[in-house]
């Protein structure tokens, strides 16, 4: 248990440079009391023995990793980033890991320290002037940006994508999105069409009449007899062709859900991981290019 935990910590997917140091400790609890009589205690030879049959009850511990949550961090945006704010905005990001990976390391924001704010010059927008409907609404916006929506449609019966069908698709991924706030592309999307299978397009959802959020939608032809079958592992990370060519750029700039270590270690996921890394570098370079040179 301990050996595998150590291996995971030092694995290449957890490089210290990509993560904020956090305080955590391993809590080990005995599952049974050690023997009281000296004659019952294991000898040195037995302790050194690596045999699989050797099984000492009192040497078995229950290991629990206790993590202390990271503190929220204040950042100053250097460019407009969807889901965070415009250039010059000071805002608090609750998860320091996300702030570091998505904003600080790519160079899209800096820590909102007095020196950085002074260096930025005019145009700093204080946090209390952040335009948002509600705190939760803003968090929902960031979640929707990262969440691709699977749109399952019948594989044989004719269909046309309507806001009602998209509303039902949102409910499947545990989102309540009223029908009237869903904006579909101007071109109607009909099927069934094998050419459209697995392709993605962009819709917009307006939260509380304030935040207009683009959402990635993936078309999937569904056989109702397999309605309860689990989707393929890592489907939300796969790269797909856009349904409309004019939406290619917007879809490429849309954030993608982060890849967990469990998903990354799955067999056959290496090409997708490589694609993800290349996409992340291109996107960050594009966002950095929008930063004015004097900042």
Partner 1 sequence: MLTLGRGVWRSACHAPMTATWGPAAVTWPVFFGSGFHTCAILERARRGTRERKAKVAIANKKKKEDRLRRHPPPLPDKIVLKLKSMGLPVTPKPLRADESNKSFATDDVYQLFRYCYQRYEFTEAVRMMRIHFSPEVLDRSDDLIYAKVEVNMKLPKQGRYMDEFNKYVAIVHRWDDTVLEKRICAFVPTEELEAEALAAGAIMTGGPELIQNIMKGRVDVAEVDHFLCHDELAATMRTMVGVLREKTPLKGGDSVGTNIKKMIQVFKSGMEVQVRKVKPSLVAPNEPDYAFAEIPIGKLTQDPEEMRANLDSALDSLLEGQSKKASGGFITRLILKLEDGPFYTEYSIDHPLLSDEKLRNHQKARSEQIQEPIRETTGS
Query: Does position 171 bind partner 1 by CB under 8 A?
Result: yes
Binding mask 25-44 for partner 1 (x = CB under 8 A): ------x-------------
Q: Does 153 bind partner 1 (CB under 8 A)?
A: yes
The answer to whether 199 and 219 have CB atoms below 8 angstroms apart is yes
Half-sphere exposure of 213 (CA within 13 A, CB side): 29
Which residue from 79, 89, 140, 236 is in contact with partner 1, where contact means CB under 8 A?
140
What would you measure as the largest C-alpha separation in the chain, in angstroms? Answer: 82
Instruction: Note whether 65 and 94 are within 8 A (CB).
Output: no
Q: How far apart are CA 118 and CA 122, in angstroms?
A: 9
Whole-angstrom Cα distance, residue 178 to residue 166? 10
Nearest Cα to 208, choosing from 125, 131, 130, 127? 131
**166 or 254: whose CB is closer to partner 1?**
166
Q: Could you give the 3-state DSSP secondary structure of residue 8? A: helix
Decide: 75 and 111 in contact? Cβ < 8 Å: yes
DSSP β-ladder status, 182-183 and 159-160: unpaired
Is the Cβ of residue 109 or residue 207 nearer to partner 1 in the bound state?
207
Q: Do the beta carbons of residue 117 and residue 78 sit within 8 Å?
A: no
Cα–Cα dist 224/218, whole Å? 18
Contact status: 144 vs partner 1 (CB under 8 A): yes
Among 43, 68, 176, 289, binds partner 1 (CB under 8 A): 176
Find the shortest distance in angstroms from Cβ 215 to partner 1.
10
* List 77, 145, 205, 219, residue binding partner 1 (CB under 8 A): 205
Please state, in angstroms and rounded to a whole number, the distance separating the CA atoms of residues 93 and 102.
Answer: 11
Of 41, 136, 204, 266, the one binding partner 1 by CB under 8 A: 136
Q: Of the listed pieces 4-12, 116-124, 176-184, 283-291, which binds partner 1 according to CB under 8 A? A: 176-184
The span from the CA of 106 to the CA of 259, in Å, is 17
Quick one: which of 20, 98, 117, 181 contacts partner 1 (CB under 8 A)? Answer: 181
Q: Which is nearer to partner 1, 106 or 191 (CB)?
A: 191
Site for partner 1 contains 125 (CB under 8 A): no
Q: Cα(114)–Cα(118) distance, rounded to whole angstroms?
A: 6
Type and span of the H or E element at 285? helix 270-289
Among 8, 30, 62, 65, binds partner 1 (CB under 8 A): 62
| Shortest reach from residue 176's CB to partner 1, in Å | 5
Among 134-142, 229-237, 246-254, 260-268, which window interacts with partner 1 (CB under 8 A)? Answer: 134-142
Which positions from 224 through 283 interact with partner 1, judged by CB under 8 A? 224, 227-228
Q: Rule CB under 8 A: which residues touch partner 1?
A: 31, 62, 133-134, 136-137, 140, 143-144, 152-154, 157-160, 164-165, 167-168, 171-172, 174-178, 181, 205, 207-208, 222, 224, 227-228
């Amino acid at each position: 248990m301990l050996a595998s935990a150590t291996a995971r910590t030092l694995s290449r997917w957890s490089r210290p440079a990509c993560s904020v140091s956090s305080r955590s400790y391993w809590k080990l609890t005995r599952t049974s009391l050690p023997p009281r009589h000296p004659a019952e205690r294991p000898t040195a030879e037995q302790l050194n023995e690596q045999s699989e049959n050797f099984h000492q009850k009192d040497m078995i511990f229950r290991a629990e990793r206790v993590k202390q949550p990271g503190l929220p961090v204040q950042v100053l945006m250097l460019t407009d980033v969807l889901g965070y704010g415009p250039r010059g905005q000071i805002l608090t990001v609750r998860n320091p890991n996300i702030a570091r990976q998505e904003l600080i390391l790519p160079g899209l924001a800096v820590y909102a320290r007095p020196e950085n704010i002074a260096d930025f010059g005019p145009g700093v927008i204080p946090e209390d002037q952040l335009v948002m409907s509600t705190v939760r609404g803003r968090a929902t916006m960031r979640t929707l940006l990262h969440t691709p929506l699977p749109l399952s449609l019948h594989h044989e019966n004719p269909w046309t994508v309507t806001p009602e069908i998209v509303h039902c698709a949102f409910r499947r991924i545990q989102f309540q999105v009223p029908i009237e706030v869903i904006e579909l592309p101007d071109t109607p999307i009909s099927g069934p069409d094998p050419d459209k299978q697995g392709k993605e397009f962009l819709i917009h959802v307006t939260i509380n009449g304030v935040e207009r959020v683009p959402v990635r939608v993936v078309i999937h032809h569904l056989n109702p007899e397999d309605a309860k079958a689990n989707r393929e592992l890592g489907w939300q990370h796969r790269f797909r062709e856009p349904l409309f060519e004019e939406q290619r750029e917007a879809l490429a700039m849309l954030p993608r859900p982060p890849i967990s270590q469990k998903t990354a270690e799955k067999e056959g996921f290496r090409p997708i991981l490589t694609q993800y890394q290349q996409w992340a570098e291109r996107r960050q370079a594009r966002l950095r290019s929008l930063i004015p040179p004097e900042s």
